[in-house]
Amino acid sequence: MEEEHIEPPPYIHIETNDFLHRRHKRQKEEDIAVCECQYNLMDPDSACGERCWNVSTNTECTPGYCRCGVYCKNQRFQKCQYARTRLVKTEGRGWGLLAEENIMAGQFVIEYCGEVISWKEAKRRSQAYEDQGLMEAYIIYLNTAESIDATKKGSLARFINHSCQPNCETRKWNVLGEVRVGIFAKQDIPIGMELSYDYNFEWFGGAIVRCLCGAASCSGFLGAKSRGFQEATYLWEDDDDRFSVENIPIYDSTDEEHTSIPKDILLAKNEPITQRSNNSTVQSTENPGIAISNELMAMTVEPLMAGSNELTPMTVEPLMASSNGLTPMTIEPLRAIPMGVDFVENGSTEYGAQYADDVLENSAHRVAKLQNQSSPQSKNHHTELVPVRSKPKFRGGKAKRGLRKQLNVADICDRLSSAVAREEILYCEEVKKQATAEIDSLYDEIRPAIEEHERDSQDNVSTSLAEKWIEASCCKYKAEFDLSAAIIKNMASTPLRGKEDVIPGERNGLLYLQNGT
């Protein structure tokens, strides 16, 4: 093995994010969340463990404010309390990171650090890196307005490879007023195993890379669910030839030897750049031997509702009709699934706070009517859905924004038999969540400015902040619209299934594979 002779291409190692387009936020005293924990020598869990309010809201305790003082266990990002890891050369996937100790499920592994840049800059850089022939992409989403670029500066987390069946996941934490991204173990990880997470929702894009994770559930390409990938491959257009990417240049990471970071973007050292080698020092996280099969067939879909409001049943060809023996089926039109209501497991339905009572009344009436009208097939799916009104609870202005009509995406996904359809909806939901989180964090920024303005009515709220707010609002509305559109499209154009058809182990319409299954 050449392990001792080769090194990864140079980069600048950092352990906290570097802010390029703005200053690090200063946490205001009134914004500091102080938990109720008090350290008790006899109970080690008393010092900000699972029961800590801050832990349950993914917020780190602020030193000097937490009563547990030095015993506080909820400052892991701040104290860089990382798991022990080791860099290794993998087969075909460049460098990777291994667990160098046994890691427990839920454990904080490492922070994904890099340069915090605006979304516009991320787009510009991503294109520039691609133009420079950089095959490894290190930009991930932080929120709808910002990204983290670990290309030139970063922590060891930049070496964690993607897997479609990963043992880690990313989680966002609030640390001293800033959002930071951590890699957390999804399961117990034994010493020596390669760490991986699913890039999909974080992936900024870049060259299209064939995924070599080897998982049985492999989606074929890195970030196949990412917006960048979908835009590049025109997934939802015309004949809906999703995943038919023959015309797009695909970078297969085993195809060629290549330099990782072009010399002109290196900041750390001016050393010769390490060539990618096919020598392997580790095995892939899962089944490295499994050949990648990505034979998804294009699906034929009749035009959506043919431009009329008449809701008539439509014929849909199933996905992969030739391989799984499914035959074309007739599905009920969308009316069988009333939108704008939240289907709850026990049959109750919650409406959003913004609906006036008469709207609620009408909706309830309509839902009940539709249920009576629906065919036996749709009855089978939806007869248990009974709308009930729940009074909105307003507590302060901020909560109001959160109380919009909610869709129960998990329930909707459970009704869809097409994995691709479910994935699209889950992707849109994730984007919507990020857009919501972004506007929530902006609210915290804009609120003090507004209050200040109201108090002494002198200064205006800064234009840039107001613009940011408007932009974030637009993003959020767009994300909500995209989610609704994805649901409508997929419910109307892909086969539905009954609750009884949901496979054990399935959640949100996705099957979660256990290790070794």
Ligand X SMILES: C[S@@+](CC[C@H](N)C(=O)[O-])C[C@H]1O[C@@H](n2cnc3c(N)ncnc32)[C@H](O)[C@@H]1O
Binding site for ligand X (CB under 6 A): 93-96, 135-138, 158-159, 161-163, 209, 211-213, 222, 253
What is the nearest approach in angstroms of ligand X to the Cβ of residue 158? 5
Angle at 24 between CA 19 and CA 30, to 5 degrees: 160
Please count the CA atoms within 13 angstroms of the CA of 366 that sit on its side-chain side: 13
Cβ closest to ligand X, residue 291 vs residue 306: 291
> In terms of C-beta density within 10 A (0-12 exposed, 13-18 middle, 19 or more buried), how is residue 406 classed?
middle
Q: Which residues contact 165 (CB under 8 A, 6 or more apart)?
A: 213, 215, 216, 217, 218, 285, 286, 513
Q: Are 317 and 494 in contact (CB under 8 A)?
A: no
Integer angstrom CA distances of residue 226 from 163, 219, 236: 14, 12, 13
Cβ closest to ligand X, residue 137 vs residue 316: 137
What is the nearest approach in angstroms of ligand X to the Cβ of residue 276? 8
Q: Are 376 and 368 in contact (CB under 8 A)?
A: no
Give me the residue whose beta carbon is nearest to ligand X.
94
Query: What is d(CA 98, CA 5) in angstroms, rounded to the nearest whole number?
Result: 18
Q: Are 434 and 492 in contact (CB under 8 A)?
A: no
Cβ closest to ligand X, residue 73 vs residue 225: 225
> In terms of C-beta density within 10 A (0-12 exposed, 13-18 middle, 19 or more buried), how is residue 491 classed?
buried
What is the nearest approach in angstroms of ligand X to the Cβ of residue 447? 36
Cβ closest to ligand X, residue 199 vs residue 355: 199
Side chain identity at 324, as an amino acid letter? N
What is the nearest approach in angstroms of ligand X to the Cβ of residue 384? 41
What is the nearest approach in angstroms of ligand X to the Cβ of residue 479? 25
Integer angstrom CA distances of residue 363 from 211, 285, 407, 409, 479: 45, 49, 14, 19, 24
What is the nearest approach in angstroms of ligand X to the Cβ of residue 160? 6
What is the nearest approach in angstroms of ligand X to the Cβ of residue 109? 15
Cβ closest to ligand X, residue 17 vs residue 378: 17
The pair of structure tokens assigned to 371 is: 């249920």
Angle at 434 between CA 433 and CA 435, to 5 degrees: 90
Query: What is d(CA 35, CA 26) in angstroms, rounded to the nearest whole number?
Result: 20
What is the nearest approach in angstroms of ligand X to the Cβ of residue 94? 3
Cβ closest to ligand X, residue 157 vs residue 176: 157
Q: Are 225 and 427 in contact (CB under 8 A)?
A: yes
What is the nearest approach in angstroms of ligand X to the Cβ of residue 244? 20
